[in-house]
Structure 1
Amino acid sequence: FRAAAGDGGGGLLVAEFRGDRLSGLRVDETAVAEAWLEPPLLATFWGEDLMERRPVPLGEIPTEVVRAVLAAEDASFFEHPGLSPTGIARALLTNLRGGEIRQGGSTITQQLAKNLYLSSERTMGRKMREAMLAIFLEWRYSKEQILEAYLNQIYWGRSGAANLIGVGAAARAYFGKPVEELDLAEGALLAALIRAPAEYSPFRRAEAARARRDLVLRRLAELDWITPEAAETAAAAALPEVERPISRRLAPYYADAAAAEVARRWGVADLADRGLSIFGTLDLTDQESAEAAVREGLAELTGKSARVRKHEEGLEAALISLEPATGAVRAYVGGRDYRESQFDRASSARRQAGSAFKPIVYATAFESGVATPATLLEDAPLELESGGKRWAPANDDGEFRGWVTARTAIEQSLNVPTARLALQTGLPRIVQMARACGIRGRLQPVPAMALGAFEVAPIELLTAYATLADRGVRPPVHLVDAVLDARGRPLAGEALPAPERALSPDTAYMVTSLLQGVLDYGTGRPARALGLADPLAGKTGTTNLRRDNWFAGFSPERATLVWVGFDDDSPTPFSGSKAALPLWTKFTLAVRPPGGYARFTPPEGIRVVLIDPATGELATDRCPEVLAEAFAAERVPATVCREHGGWFAEPIDPGVRAERDEKGPGG
């Protein structure tokens, strides 16, 4: 089969299991560590003629199929010069007798000439031009080239809205498999269909199809191309009973976005009838899980709210999931129903980021040395002038908590301490960090920007989270791996940019640690009640009047984002934790690896020490609560918790105590 790396495969794959676990793989009786499966077809791009083509080299078409076609259409193909006087005479005599037509008057070369260059009008002039073109084709091309062109050019009926052109498309539509896997009976049926696909359709006129197929088998035996026994065995085979429409797009939003990427990177703006093979990054199983999560999640949300049910337009959502290390998109849903709206909310929508942007603020503060996860931030009324207007941020619940650590501020998604931290860090620095992490929207260094008061495409925001997941390296997010031309040769295009480091591994780990707390203790905690126990990280986001509801979460091997809202920017009755988080959790559980999601491992520059979470200082044995917090090695707190331990208390962290002992009283 054809794959991104070229043609290959096609062997028998045997999977061995022990219980419900895969224990081994064998390809054609040879043990292998891994095996590529044939990629499923997700979408087809047609022109106005709606032609489905699957070009196949002659050498890959089974001999039984080729001989069946020759027997049905032109048994003397390899003997005549493009015209067959005996064939014409035989057809004329048969027509005069009113009997069945065993072989047409036009040779395969003539049929090809008509399909390529002429109309279907029945006139003597057209037949003469057809004959002349056939002779020219025979002079210009080899028999093998003509036969290959014919098998890939003739009409083989319809599948849904598509016209089946060529044996490759026909094999898929009638039998659901590549032409290379067809047997004698199947090849004979395809050959039988050439004369009149609708009249001999196995799905609508089974008896006629069987009779015509068996006629082809008998003709093969008369020509001594198969044995009578083989013909009899093939005639006993059942006809296909279930149509396999190949016109349905399995991931329509993804297909549109992939086509846009092909236009951008390969310079092919119109894919219709080009015969190109586009190999995408999508995982069909993940995609089905994503679509189910969106469909079921939106139905549940709609059922909970009369306001949503009364809204003129339905609640919408977008879900994107990718591999942080490569940037390969594995699932992509741009809306609730492509049939109702083709607008792609995953890439084309510009929505306010809200609190989902806060990790960028903390990442910038940590990277700049302005703060650590244990830094105390003031949660008290804040008022300042911005753009000639009064700006006074408030927390979602309208309350103020006094002094809180950076960890508490992000776990509880507190706006005021985050705004203070952003002002202390420097707004231009935060804009610069956002750009480095992949956010390309219109960012202005104004205070409200720190709380996500700007518009961003969901796929851009997900890129920032993927950067955190890959230890500070921004991946080249992409939907397409390769494009091959009609003959399977790679098409030259723009290579993916190399991954770029946006922030240090230490900073990425510290922010990730805070976002793990969001799921364990903060606004993301409902995911735990829904059954997600893995040590993932993530952040909710809710904008003013709850117009936009976000959740973005990640593990080392997976980053996924969900947005929920109305297209017309109407308020919703939900929040990030009540609307987006359940959809994200449903999908994340559905695609969970058999052994669970991987744990985050701290880089070499990280020290984990015990602190008092209320004061952010080194914990003592008198502190009522103790937290293991991650710090950059050079930023480990030096002060022991005075609120609970007093001036002469010792830290309980054994590593810190050992260091203090080594330095002595003056250290």
Structure 2
Amino acid sequence: MPLDEIPRDLVQAVLAAEDDGFFEHPGLSLSGIARALWTNLRGGTVRQGGSTLTQQLVKNRFLSAERTLERKLREALLALFVELRYEKREILRIYLDSIFWGKPGAVNLMGVGAAARAYFDKPAAELDLAEAALLAGIIRAPAELSPYRRPEAALARRNQILDRLVALRWVASERAEAAKAAPLGVRATGYGQNRAPFFAAAVAAEARRRYGIESLADAGLILLSTLDEVEQAAAAAAVEAGVADLAGRVGERGAPLQAALVALDPLTGGARAWVGGRDFRASQFDRVSQMRRQAGSTFKPVVYAAAFAGEVATPATLIADEPLLLELAGRQWSPKNDDGEFLGWISARTAVERSRNLPTVRLALEVGLPPIVDLARRLGVASPLSPVPALALGAFELSPLELATVYSVFASGGVRPPVHTLDGVLDGRGQPLAGTALPPPERVLSPEAAYLVTSLLEGVVAHGTGQRARQLGLTDPVAGKTGTTNQKRDAWFAGFAPGKVALAWVGYDDNRPTPFSGAAGALPVWTGFMLRTRPPGGYGQIAPPAGVVRRTIDPASGGLALPLCPQVIDEFFLASRAPTLGCPLHGGPRWAGDRLGAPPPEAEEGQGEPESGRFRRWLRRLFGGAAAPPQG
């Protein structure tokens, strides 16, 4: 901003604090250099710089922050050149417009205009003497002299500047004493509020890991983050509204009900929204990246992805939803469905849409547990996994960020993106810092297998356990999966649309049970976010790749539909696994149909089904439609 618009009090306060001989020296202060040299000789290292205001400007815009004699010599020479090239007032203007004034929240404050707005919520032209002295005092050490973090130190430094102004005879003692009696007067504004505190902590961790930056305080760096402000605000609002509604139903007893939501760009892996809990001030524990909880049914798509990739099954493959007893290390394990019922032979699509446990375990055993573990690793799960049957039901712990990465692969057509929060870091001169580059996106699943999973997950939302999203107003063809762990300790929903993946979790930090399934607890939070960020034309539909074909089949057999078939649907298949024979139940050639494992002796409708399954089938054909989905 023009120097004429900056109050005289502020200009004088900055000069009193940093360089009271600015208008007399040629860019270097001989007395300052002598004082710094004596200090450095006594300490044996370069501790003090004796920098003039011009030297500070040169260092911040053209040089690194390293403390070496060579760098100081270059700084001195450049300062002399700058003084020869520019007028003093122009140097002072550039300095005031570019100096780092701290980071009271999520934003680095560069320049006097931003500092005045952030600390006092007013333009720089309206600053009074006390406010000017406070800002001038911050320059030397913005973190150590922050009026928010260390108000006593900031106040002492402000008063020191006021005394210096009196000593220089730039301000009358009466004015200085009146200013010293004033309170700090700072207040939070949009500049200083951290709207994404959990994300900011993740950014700091990534800056440390990839760029070796141990502290961002006083660094004056420019962080190029992946955050989308609109999506972050929507995520925070969705969590706040959703959890407030849920907590209102159960009451807040003991530790509060918690939630987390993370949104990723499935193509780049950039985190677009990141809410690690309800209140960062109350708890800095980041439930997006630090929490590990059982995944429940949100892991089931990995089982089906492995089956499709290995051509063990198709979406139309019939799998037995019947009792199962397994021997594990001398102990018996008998998984159950959430509703305690059995549906007989059902398709893989129905098993996913209705979140049936028994068909999923059977399919996992057919695929092989080690290949499922291997695929989960390639999809982005780094937490410990064991090749045991309960793996198929998500009976292991992982972070929401890992699970969101898995769903990013489905959304991107089988390519795992490098999940990150930082696109780059610039120094004070605007030059990029060298750091560890992100790995390139990696194909870990075929486009065809990824699409078949996506198609099943679209069915989950259209008429399965996720259909409440439709009732809440999200009618676009989105894909997703509910998840509920034992005793409803964790409620999950992970879903996506073209260009966006989001995951929501609801539960208690102490792992006690909740009354909410994934559909009742996490799905409304997820839907609230997706509705708030819905594009004007709505979410589009992911198109099938060239290797996927669509066929009209009878879902009771998986065979091609014939005129006598009472119910037909369109289903997607790998081109190599598409059915070629007509339905054996209604006039086609006698074959077992698309069934997992050994077929029953007779390929007739109802054979091999328990009585409850045959009765349900008869009711559906008599009255049409299907029973209400379980809350998986």
Instruction: Give the structure-1-normalised TM-score.
Output: 0.68
Distance 1:559 1:156 in 2: 37
Counterpart of 1:519 in structure 2 is: 461
* Letter matched to residue 499 of structure 1: P
- SS of the equivalent of 1:645 reads coil
**SS state at 1:528 partner:** helix
Partner of 2:607: none
Gap change, CA 1:620 and 1:264, over 3 Å in 2: same
Give the aligned residue type for 2:447.
P
Residue matched to 1:266:
211
CA displacement at 1:198 relative to structure 2: 9.0
* Correspondence for 1:304: 249
The one-letter code matched in structure 1 to 2:314 is T
Contact 1:540 1:577 in 2 (8 A): yes
1:366 alignment partner, one of 304, 308, 315: 308
Letter in 2 for 1:275: G
Q: CA deviation at 1:62?
A: 3.3
Aligned to 1:541: 483
- Give the aligned partner of residue 2 of structure 2: 62
Separation (CA, whole Å) in 2 of partners of 1:321 and 1:82: 50
The question of whether the paired residues in 2 share the 8 Å contact of 1:322 and 1:560 is answered with yes
Answering whether residue 237 of structure 2 is matched by residue 292 of structure 1, we say yes
5 Å-filtered alignment, 1:434-453, equals 434-453=376-395
Aligned-residue offset at 1:597: 0.8
Change (3 A) 1:436 1:192: same
The structural deviation recorded for 1:389 is: 2.2
Q: Among all aligned residue pairs of Structure 1 and Structure 2, give the percentage whose two residues are the same amino acid.
A: 52
Could you give the per-residue CA deviations for residues 573-595 of structure 1, whole angstroms, max 9, x where no partner exists?
11000000011011101100111
Change (3 A) 1:415 1:74: closer
Aligned partners of 2:531 and 2:292: how far apart in 1? Answer: 28
Q: Distance in 1 between matches of 2:389 and 2:572?
A: 28
Whether 2:340 is the aligned partner of 1:398: answer: yes
Q: How far is 1:503 from its partner?
A: 0.8
CA contact (8 A) 1:157 1:198 kept: no
2:418 is the alignment partner of 1:418: no
Residue in 2 that maps onto 1:316: 258
Asked if 1 retains the 8 angstrom alpha-carbon contact of 2:581 and 2:589, the reply is no
**Cα deviation, residue 638, structure 1:** 2.3
Aligned partner of 1:92 in structure 2 is: none
Checking the alignment, whether the CA contact within 8 Å between 1:64 and 1:187 is kept in structure 2 is: no
* Cα distance, 1:170 vs structure 2: 2.5
Are the aligned partners of 2:319 and 2:347 in contact in 1 as well (CA < 8 Å)? yes
SS at match of 2:519: helix
Q: CA deviation at 1:511?
A: 0.8
**Residues 394-448 of structure 1, C-alpha deviation per residue, up to 9 Å, x if partnerless?**
1000001111110010100000000000000000000011011111110110110
Q: Structure 1: which 5+ residue stretches go unaligned?
A: 1-60, 85-105, 119-129, 178-185, 200-239, 652-667
Out of 271, 276, 279, the position equivalent to 2:224 is: 279
User: Per the alignment, do residues 546 and 70 of structure 1 end up closer, same or farther by CA in structure 2, a change over 3 Å counting?
Assistant: closer
Give the number of equivalent residue pairs.
501
* 1:103 paired residue number: none
Q: Is the partner of 1:619 in helix, strand or coil?
A: coil
Calculate the TM-score normalised by the size of structure 2: 0.72
In the alignment, residue 550 of structure 2 is paired with which amino acid?
V
Q: Which residue in the other structure is 2:492 paired with?
A: 550
Gaps of 5+ in 2: 38-47, 57-75, 137-184, 594-632
Q: How does 1:492-641 map to 2 (within 5 A)?
A: 492-641=434-583
- C-alpha change, 1:509 and 1:133, in structure 2 (3 Å) is closer
Post-superposition offset of 1:645: 3.3
Q: Is the 8 A contact 2:312 2:367 kept in 1?
A: yes
SS at match of 1:620: coil
SS in structure 2 of the partner of residue 603 of structure 1? coil
CA positional deviation for 1:486:
1.8
d(CA) in 1 for partners of 2:9, 2:27:
9
Give the distance between the partners of 2:22 and 2:459, measured in 1 at CA: 77
Cα displacement string for residues 220-279 of structure 1 (whole angstroms, at most 9, x for unaligned residues): xxxxxxxxxxxxxxxxxxxx9997363321100000011111111111122121111111
Q: How does 1:369-384 map to 2 (within 5 A)?
A: 369-384=311-326
Whether contact under 8 Å (1:384, 1:390) holds in the other structure is yes
User: Which residue does the alignment assign to 2:200?
Assistant: 255
Q: 2: distance between equivalents of 1:502 and 1:455?
A: 22
CA–CA separation in structure 2 for the residues paired with 1:570 and 1:431 = 28
**8 Å CA contact retained: 1:155, 1:194:** no
Return the alpha-carbon distance in structure 2 between the equivalents of residues 493 and 424 of structure 1.
45
Q: CA RMSD in A?
A: 3.9
Letter matched to residue 383 of structure 2: G
1:157 CA displacement: 11
Tell me the CA shift for residue 613 of structure 1: 1.7
Q: Indicate the SS of the match to 2:281.
A: coil
1:326 to 268, 272, 297: 268
Q: Which amino acid aligns with 1:480?
A: L
Q: Describe the superposition over 1:321-347 as per-residue Cα deviations: whole angstroms up to 9, x where unpaired.
A: 111111111111000111111000000
Q: Secondary structure of 2:387's match?
A: coil
TM-aligned CA distance change 1:241 to 1:417, over 3 Å: closer
Check the 8 A contact 1:108/1:147 in 2, yes or no: no
Displacement after TM superposition at 1:68 (Å): 5.8
Q: Deviations over 1:350-377 (max 9, x none)?
A: 0100100000000000100110011110
Measured against aligned partners, the alpha-carbon deviations of 1:642-661 in whole angstroms (never above 9, x if no partner) come to 22335499x9xxxxxxxxxx
Paired with 2:364 and 2:119, the residues of 1 have a C-alpha distance of 62
Q: Within 2, Cα distance between the matches of 1:72 and 1:367? A: 71
Once the two structures are superposed, what CA deviation does each residue of 1:9-35 show, in whole Å capped at 9, x if it has no partner? xxxxxxxxxxxxxxxxxxxxxxxxxxx
Pairing of 1:45-444 with structure 2 (within 5 A): 61-65=1-5, 141-142=79-80, 143=83, 147=92, 151=96, 167=112, 169-173=114-118, 188-189=125-126, 196-197=133-134, 244=189, 246-305=191-250, 309-444=251-386
CA contact 2:105–2:194 (8 Å) conserved in 1: no
- Relative to structure 1, the CA distance from residue 161 to residue 553 in structure 2 (aligned partners, 3 Å threshold; closer, same or farther) is closer
Q: Is the 8 A contact 1:361 1:418 kept in 2?
A: yes
Aligned residues of 2:562 and 2:588 also touching (Cα < 8 A): no
The alpha carbon displacement at 1:489 in A equals 1.1
Cα 1:338–1:606 change in 2 (3 A) is: same
Change (3 A) 1:612 1:303: same
Amino acid at match of 1:336: R
Q: SS where residue 596 of structure 1 aligns?
A: coil
* Alignment check: 8 A CA contact 2:225 2:424 kept: yes
The 2-side partners of 1:156 and 1:425 are apart by: 59
The residue identity in structure 2 corresponding to 1:497 is: P
Aligned to 2:69: none
Distance 1:133 1:279, change over 3 A: closer
Partner SS state of residue 616, structure 1: coil
Structure 1 residues 542 and 642 mapped into 2: Cα distance closer, same or farther (>3 Å)? Answer: same
Give the drift of 1:387: 3.4
**Whole-angstrom distance in 1 between the partners of 2:53 and 2:374:** 69
> What is the Cα deviation at residue 617 of structure 1?
1.5
Deviation (angstroms), 1:295: 0.6
Q: Hey, what's the Cα distance between the residues in 1 that align with 2:240 and 2:477?
A: 26
